[in-house]
């Protein structure tokens, strides 16, 4: 089963410092039918304006993967030097028993980034973080594993039974994805135009996929997207129409 959720269904949270699209319940936004997708807890599409910051906030027992699409982000964690994340960088933050951090944009251009939260494999660990540079220009016509707890070569390790891929397809190219038994997938289109098993997707659209052994991703136009492969964790919550 593949469910398309249009970009208009996202929850936009606007503030003087930022605009953030919430794809799942998070913060002050709560929809009991939209809390998670299998092992995926949240997916936030954020734009932080120049000279602005997101206040310090706490996390625990969640794996947070940050993908920088454009611009530069400075992250502050307790008792540590600031961490700079640039376009193409990926960070895995294992919050474990608890951590506080804040994001700052001290540049003169906005920073666009995704933050993805995944349920951990093992609870109660000491918080830690790892960063890696994957380059600002995605490799065309390939799926690149950027964060994984499933022994994917080159991916940043994550304390979760999950893999996050970035994908780029040139016009008329396709990717055939095999989804193992007991797993679900989530696709978010950043730019371009795709079809998934013949259904059209536009930027900001989501595909939520479960009980589908394989699916075909095809590019109508040059496209970039993120694909998350997670355990189903029992029945997935009811999809939104």
The DSSP annotation for 72-107 comes to EEEEEETTS--EEEETTEEEEEE-TT-EEEEEEE-S
**Range of the structural domain that residue 171 is part of:** 2-231
pLDDT at site 240: 41
Phi, psi of 7 (to 5 degrees): -55, -30
Q: How far is CA 196 from CA 91, 116, 159, in A?
A: 28, 22, 29
Count structural domains, the chain.
1
**Tokens encoding 131:** 């960063």
Residue 11 in any domain: the answer is yes
Residue 236 in any domain: the answer is no
**Tokens encoding 215:** 């699916």
Residue 239 in any domain: the answer is no
Spatial separation of the C-alpha atoms in residues 226 and 210, rounded to whole Å? 17
pLDDT digit string (tens) for 4-23?
Answer: 999 999 999 999 999 999 99
What are the beta bridge partners of residue 166?
Answer: 144, 226
Average pLDDT over residues 59-65: 92
Q: How far is CA 157 from CA 30, 60, 234, in A?
A: 30, 18, 24
Flag whether the pTM goes above 0.95: no
How far is residue 48 CA from its own chain's centroid? Answer: 16
pLDDT at site 222: 96
Residue 13 in any domain: the answer is yes
Q: Is the pLDDT of residue 239 over 50?
A: no
Q: Is the pLDDT of residue 145 over 80?
A: yes
110: CATH? 2.60.120.10
Residue 241 in any domain: the answer is no
Residue 237 in any domain: the answer is no
């Amino acid at each position: 089963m593949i469910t398309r959720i249009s970009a208009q269904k996202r929850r936009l949270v606007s503030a003087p410092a930022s605009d953030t699209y919430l794809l799942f319940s998070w913060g002050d936004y709560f929809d009991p039918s939209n809390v998670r997708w299998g092992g995926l807890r949240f997916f936030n599409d954020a734009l932080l304006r120049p000279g602005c910051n997101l206040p310090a906030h706490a996390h625990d027992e969640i794996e947070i993967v940050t993908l920088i699409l454009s611009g530069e982000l400075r992250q502050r964690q307790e008792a540590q030097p600031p961490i700079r994340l640039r376009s193409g960088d990926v960070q895995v933050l294992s919050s474990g028993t608890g951590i506080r951090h804040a994001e700052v944009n001290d540049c003169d251009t906005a920073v666009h980034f995704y933050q993805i939260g995944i349920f951990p494999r093992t609870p109660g660990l000491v918080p830690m973080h790892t960063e890696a540079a994957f380059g600002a220009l995605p490799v065309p016509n390939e799926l690149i594993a950027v964060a994984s707890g499933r022994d994917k070569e080159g991916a940043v390790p994550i304390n979760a039974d999950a893999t996050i891929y970035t994908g780029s397809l040139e016009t008329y190219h396709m990717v055939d994805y095999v989804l193992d038994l007991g797993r679900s997938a989530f696709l978010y289109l950043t730019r371009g135009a795709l079809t998934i098993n013949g259904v059209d997707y536009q930027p900001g659209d989501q595909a939520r996929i479960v009980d589908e052994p394989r699916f075909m991703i095809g590019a109508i136009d040059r496209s970039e997207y993120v694909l998350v492969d997670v355990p189903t964790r029992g029945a997935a919550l009811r999809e939104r129409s």
